[in-house]
Amino acid sequence: MSTVELTKDNFDEVVQGPDGKGFVFIDFWASWCGPCRQFAPVYEKASGRHPDLVFAKVDTEAQQELAAAFEIRSIPTLAIIRDGVLVFSQPGALPEPVLEDLIGKARALDMDEVRAKVAEEQANARG
């Protein structure tokens, strides 16, 4: 599967997926960014190797609102959203083996455990 261009207009549809259980890798990038251009072929290869996952790209110049919503300060930044929960976000171009390891770890997450932890953190934040 090729990567999807993610915009504020198609964000909810792509991230939620057809069954509400979306699993999306998002590459925040810009055309002028050298490390972004170096990471692009690694990301595309991973997309081809994992057709069951959604690989999306956000052009931070064209989609400034989306980049701001994710508090992107450095590019490239890779984010992973699974079942509507942001489970990973980190700046920097990843080498292929590190990206593959990250994909494996994201697949292995126990999302019930993740949701419980998020709920606990939100409850603690409220006091």
Active site residues: 33, 36
Residue of 43, 114, 51, 124 whose CA lies nearest to 85: 114
**CA distances (Å), origin 41, targets 18, 22, 54, 67:** 27, 23, 16, 21
Contact of 6 with 57, CB cutoff 8 Å: yes
Q: Distance (Å, rounded) from C-alpha 27 to C-alpha 52? A: 17
